[in-house]
Chains A and B, each alone.
Chain A
Amino acid sequence: MSQDVQEPEAEALAPELLPLDAWHRARGGRMVPFAGYEMPVQYEGIMAEHLWTREHAGLFDVSHMGQLLFSGADTDAQLETLLPGDIKGLIPGRMRYSLLLADNGGIHDDLMVTRLGDENAFEIDAGAFYMVVNGATKWDDLGVFREALPDEVAINHLDEQALLALQGPEAVTALERVVPGVASLVFMTAAAFEWQGNPLWVSRSGYTGEDGFEISLPGDAAEAFAEALCAQPEVKPIGLGARDSLRLEAGLPLYGHDLDLDTNPVAADLGFALSKRRREEGGFPGAEAILADRANGSATKRVGLIVEGRQPVREGAIVVDDSGTQIGTVTSGGFAPSVQKPIAMAYVPAALATPGTRVTLSQRGKTHNAEVTSMPFVPHRYVRKGA
């Protein structure tokens, strides 16, 4: 037997250890190299962890992700030269999903950006921005930001800071018990809290499709805080394996798989990340190409697929026409524990992107039938204002 598909790639350098490394091992986490770090891929099993998160609350260590602070004069205007979102319009404590764009309209990274207010956990002036970027791209992102932004914008990489995500319908119950007050946050807002003298920066956000929180805190407090969360009956530690299956069911793209420098926001179905004012004004990298695609339609589109049968179709499989010629590519795929079917994301020609369209996939010499479906595969359960 050989395990040859879809295992995390070996890293050239010895992986670094994150603040919770010993804690994961003590909890039975199976550690694998990922994005330059040793990370827990699973504890008791991906299926059980996935379903636990959908029903209760899962604690994810995402400390490998990059946490950046931007401060200085006109930081919002400066960030708008690289991101297509309405950054100027963000009020303190509000956050937005955005993209770090390349000059050709391709995507360097996808990210979350928050405007900080007077009270924040980072001892920095109001008007600064907090950003979370992907772990595998953070060093390249820093290079892009440093190159493009003027010296007046200070960039601070919070590499001593841990980042935990608590996700699932019972996350609010569990976290409110440990950090009173967090229940007042709604989806895509953030605020400063404190736990045993440690500053916390808590946002109501995540990447599983469930209600939940992301909590930034000093690395040296992470183990005690994770222990306090897992002492709650609703909470179990969950590995990156289930994080991937959860985000796939939620229809959320993963950078390096569903998004890269060769995909543009319109093909990637991320048109919502192009704020209205920015579409009218332009002035972000690749604006001309992206806005033309938006007006005329992109040649390809990211879609969801439900695959017939039980065999998973994975990243790298191809979409073929009747003569077997490649017309598209599967960028993520696997068995969906909550759907109990194999599902996938793929780029297909725009003419095939309508839900209900049947397509043929080819993987390792075998064909599979699939149907284009609207995403998410599992409904989002975010807690929005007024809900």
Chain B
Amino acid sequence: MSRYFTQDHEWIQVDGDTATVGITTYAQSQLGDIVFVETPEAGKTVAKGDDAAVVESVKAASDVYAPASGTVVEGNPALADNPALVNEDPEGEGWFFKLTLSNAAEVEALMDEAAYKDFVDSL
């Protein structure tokens, strides 16, 4: 299993041809208190870069993009009742959705953890 990161602060954990997507610790710290998350429904197909989910803090709404193309397996049902899970555990229990990847090679273009850390440090 390996984890990749986008410049828009999503993470994607790849396990064979399935993947889990969320937003990074840095992203949640920038957003502040998260009060609402809209996740995609199972069966929806997304292309890399599409709007796939919405995350709203007290102050602002943000789009979450699909880091890779595929078909949504499920949105995280826990976020409907407890959107603050994204603040508490963004890179674990606060995941947004799972995908079946249609082109696993797409993730190769993303940053690994070390490269993402350097990217955030440069902001």
Contacts and interface: CB of A to CB of B under 8 A. Distances in A.
B59 A1 contact: no
Contacts of A2: 8, 62-63, 65
Contacts of A244: 59
Contacts of B59: 6-7, 41, 46, 241, 244, 334
B63 A245 contact: no
A156 interface: no
Interface string A128-153: 00000000000000000000000000
Contacts of A335: 35-36, 56, 58
B9 interface: yes
B62 A4 contact: yes
A45 interface: yes
A311 B38 contact: yes
Given A46-B33, A47-B33, A4 B63 contact: yes
A50 B63 CA distance: 25
Contacts of B55: 1
Interface residues of A, number: 26
Interface in B24-42: 27, 30-33, 35-36, 38
B61 to A, nearest CB: 4
Question: Among B30, B55, B57, B65, which residue has the most Cβ atoms of chain A within 10 A?
Answer: B57
Closest 9 CB pairs of A and B: A47-B33, A335-B35, A5-B61, A46-B58, A3-B62, A6-B60, A311-B36, A1-B8, A1-B9
Interface of B: 8-10, 23, 27, 30-33, 35-36, 38, 55-65, 80, 83
Given A1-B9, A1-B55, 12 more contacts: A1-B23, A1-B65, A5-B60, A5-B61, A46-B32, A46-B57, A241-B59, A310-B36, A310-B83, A334-B58, A334-B59, A342-B36
